Structures are given as C-alpha cells and as structure tokens.
Structure 1
Amino acid sequence: MKTVLFLDIDGVLAPKQMFDPYALEPDLKYRLAQEKNDPSIEKLPDTLVNQVYHHFDKESCALIGQLADQFDANIVLTTSWRLFFSLEQMKAILNIFDLGPYVTGMTEEGIPRYRVIQDYVMHHGIDRFVVIDDLNMMRQFPNHFVHARFRFEKEQYDNVRKLLSWQV
C-alpha cells in the first residue's frame, strides 16, 4: 500500500510571513544544480531559485522529507504552483530542498481543492494519505488532514505521523 502526502506550498513550505530581504545570487541555481546533482535546477529562472532558496522554510522541508522517508511516501502537489509549472519544473523546485525525488504527481486543475484531491484519491485507489494544507479541509478529510496555519512545524509533523500510523 503506497502512502501519499498531498502537499500545498504556500503556508506550508513557504511560511505566511514577511520575507527578509536578500541579495539576488545570480549563480545560485548553478551551485545548487551541482550540489544536488540535478541539472534541471539550472533550467529554472534565477529569481525563482533565489525566491525558493531564501523563502522556503528549511525545517518544514526537512520534516516533509523525513515523513516521506519514514512512510515510503510519494508527494502529490495540490498547490496553486501546479498551475504555472510543469511536473518536471516542480520536481526541480522542490529538489532545492531534496524533496524532488518524492514528487510523483500533481492534482488536476479545478476547484474546490478538496474535490480534485478526492478525485485523485478515487481514481488512483489511494487509501493511505494525508492532506497537508493551510486551507482547512478537516471537514472534507477527517482522519486524513493536517492544518498548517503558517508553516509546517513539528506539531504538524507529529500529527501526520499519528494519522499515517492509524491508517495501516
């Protein structure tokens, strides 16, 4: 039985807060592509790579990676970013924080978000999953939802672990 983490980005990996200013590093994407051994990072725009690198929460990304490792989980993206970037681009973006290899898909376009997640679950025969989002979908996904109000933190990590452990 494959485990799936349905993942939003804004408010989960990218915190809801004012960003600290940073200087654009024009060579950052080349350095990261080499460090991560992922040439697809080089194909991303400089500003995007800098934005992700400086604004995503490193701890939140690490916690998601730990969950994916511990539960042999795939990540399916539900974020609105999926409307602007291809799956390959999203893998490169998330590989800046070593999450790219876990990304196996994205939900279809559509609203409300919970409906496209429900459709994905039904059409892919998924029974072990957790939705992680800053948009509260507890009513639509009881026992399958963790609310990240501002960013994904240790408390939410523990809640995801509990939910996945109960879904055996």
Structure 2
Amino acid sequence: MPKVILSLLLSLLFVAAPVLAEGLKEDPLHREMLDIAEDLRCAVCQNQPISESNSELARDMRTIIREKLEAGESRDQIVQYFVDRYGNYVLMKPPYTGTGTALWLLPTIFLVLALGVAVFYLRSRLKGEQVEAETAVVTEEERERIRALRKGDE
C-alpha cells in the first residue's frame, strides 16, 4: 500500500510540475536587462560583461539598466548613457573607427617596408660580389708572389 501511495504522489508531482513552473515565468525586463548587460564591459573587471561580473560596480550598472528600462528608455538610450560616462571602452564590441585601423595596419606596413629594404640590400650586395669576382683576375706576377709566400710558411 505505501508503494502505491508513493507512486501516486510521484505521478502527481510529474503532472503538476509543468503547471507550477508556468507561475515562475521570468520577468521580461530582467531578460532585456541581461541582454543589454551582455553588451557592456565591466570597468573594473578584465574583459568581462557586467551580466557575468559579481563586482559592486557591475551590480550597480545592472540596477541602473533595470531602472532605465522601467522608466521606458530604449536599449540605445541606455547604452549611450554608459558610453557617455565610460567612453567606448564600456562596449564589448566598440564601433569601428579609422584610428583603430591605422593601429592595426602600421606594424604590417613597417614589416613590408623592412622586408623590401632587406631584399633590395641583399640584391645589391650580391650584384657587387659578382662584379668583383668577374674583375678579380690574378696576374702571373701575383701568382708567383703567392707561391713564394706559401713556401716561406712551410
């Protein structure tokens, strides 16, 4: 008999669980607040969105987002509020600017220029050695002198 009662209670629990879960629906403002918080960087953490950070500043920022959503502000207005206070650093994906492009391209440009200079230098150096090798003709008199020097060393 106790097994039957236990089975009935468990069956009732499995049937009632989805019905009870309906009452625990998530607040839509909370979801929207988390979506915005995922796009904002915590100013005191290392490259962590405020949605994942446990710092006091991140909690305060999430509270501000929630308050602004309740006041009816749009996502863009809220993001702009934080950009005005912290600059583009607060954005997890900052906007594309020309300054950033220059910073990425300058090292590449310098590397290409350095390789070009190295290739030009090596080519001119090799050409110079070939010219010297072609013009370096040893006369018979110089050969005799070399032989004499070698005999003196022995």
* Bucket of the pairwise TM-score, normalised by the shorter protein: under 0.3
The structure whose Rg is larger is 2
Query: TM-score under structure 1 normalisation?
Result: 0.22
- Pick 1 or 2: higher relative contact order, CA cutoff 8 A, min separation 6: 1
Indicate the structure with greater helix content: 2
Query: TM-score under structure 2 normalisation?
Result: 0.23
